[in-house]
Chains A and B, each alone.
Chain A
Amino acid sequence: EPEVTQTPSHQVTQMGQEVILRCVPISNHLYFYWYRQILGQKVEFLVSFYNNEISEKSEIFDDQFSVERPDGSNFTLKIRSTKLEDSAMYFCASSLDAGELFFGEGSRLTVL
């Protein structure tokens, strides 16, 4: 069964460092998303991406964040200068149309 895959599963970084989280969405899907979940809290929308551009972003998704689909298969989230409060589980999701989102297993980011 097709699935969304994410790497790394866990990354530890120092505050101020750049981090890139990678996602391979389901191959025929057209809509891509990043969500994050701070430990034990709600799932928060970060950004949606369609047709090679951002379609919507939340207040959380400030200038420190960027997304890219560099090669038609990967979908990346970059955090330029990490802060302690960026520590969270980051989930990538993809969707074929206006229907169901399929989530990856998540990448846990720990900022020290």
Chain B
Amino acid sequence: ELKVEQNPLFLSMQEGKNYTIYCNYSTTSDRLYWYRQDPGKSLESLFVLLSNGAVKQEGRLMASLDTKARLSTLHITAAVHDLSATYFCAVALFNNDMRFGAGTRLTVKP
């Protein structure tokens, strides 16, 4: 059974600081997704990573994928308050189903 583990589960940061969220998964997959969820809202797609070594950046967020290590990272650069949300990684199985990590609740403080 596919297991997806995120850490940390809770992250409190000061504005302007950098940090990385980690996502490990237990079985072979060639697709990994990062989603953002604001309280009471739906899941907003941030990144789709489709190959080993893939790196994507959008604003202050950068995601990478190492399929050999079964690891993806979401790096936050110079955090701002607007980034406060819960971030989920999700790993796709070969039948196109996805399994989510537990989520990382990020709070960025002024």
Which residues from chain A sit less than 8 Å from chain B, CB to CB? 31, 33, 35, 41-45, 48, 50, 55-56, 91, 95, 98-106
Rounded to whole angstroms, the CA-CA distance of A35 and B103 in the bound complex is 15
User: Shortest beta-carbon distance, B21 to chain A, in Å?
Assistant: 15
The majority secondary structure among interface residues of chain B is: strand
List the one stretch of B59-67, B71-79, B88-96 in contact with chain A.
Answer: B88-96
User: Shortest beta-carbon distance, A69 to chain B, in Å?
Assistant: 17
Total of A-B residue pairs, C-beta within 8 Å: 53
B100–A42 CB distance below 8 A: yes
**Of B42, B97, B102, which contacts A56 at CB under 8 A?**
B97
The majority secondary structure among interface residues of chain A is: strand
A43–B100 CB distance below 8 A: yes
Which residues from chain B sit less than 8 Å from chain A, CB to CB? 31, 33, 35, 41-43, 45, 48, 88, 90, 92, 95-103
Select the residue from A43, A95, A99, A104 with max chain B CB neighbours within 10 A: A43
B97–A102 CB distance below 8 A: no
A42–B101 CB distance below 8 A: yes
B41–A45 CB distance below 8 A: no
B42–A101 CB distance below 8 A: no
User: Shortest beta-carbon distance, A84 to chain B, in Å?
Assistant: 21
Residue of B nearest to A103 (CB): B43
